[in-house]
Structure 1
Amino acid sequence: MASSSTGFNSGLDIAKSYYVATANPAPDHPALVGDVDTDLVVVGGGCTGLSAALHAAERGVKV
């Protein structure tokens, strides 16, 4: 994990954090091949994106 020598988190020594020590490697996700039929595409998996996808799917939108 790259760390910055300046900035907001510069003094936290993230490389020695509990998160870095216990995090699992990110799974491999192959690139999308072909067409996908959808009503809504959400770009981003943060809180807002996940909430938008969940609320749309609960209303029957193909997300």
Structure 2
Amino acid sequence: MDESNLWERTAGEELVVPVLDGSRETEIGVVGAGYTGLSAALHLAERGRRVVVLEAGEIGEGASGRNGGQVLPGLKQD
């Protein structure tokens, strides 16, 4: 079974992000760069908040990057 990150593998370009070295002051710290953490950080930043995302490994490394499930609005299940 291939456990590599599907989204990173198919993105077409490498994402380079800075590593936290020392301390940094921020308004909001989000722990985890999966679907939930990145979505929360994006929505907060769009509303003018100062946000730092902290990820111990790779972005989307956990369940967010290892499944082919789709997160789509408007799907109804009975």
1:34 deviates by 2.2
Question: TM-score of the superposition, structure 1-length normalised?
Answer: 0.50
Point out the structure with max Rg over C-alpha: 1
Q: Per residue, is there more strand in 1 or in 2?
A: 2
Question: Residues 38-53 of structure 1: matches in 2 within 5 Å?
Answer: 38-53=26-41
Displaced runs of 4 or more, over 6 A: 26-30
1:35 deviates by 2.0
Q: Per residue, is there more helix in 1 or in 2?
A: 1
Q: How many residues are treated as equivalent by the alignment?
A: 44
- Equivalent position of 2:23 in the other structure: 35
- What secondary structure, in the 3-state scheme, does the structure 2 residue paired with 1:38 have? coil
In 2, the alpha carbon distance for the partners of 1:28 and 1:53 equals 17
RMSD over aligned Cα atoms: 2.9
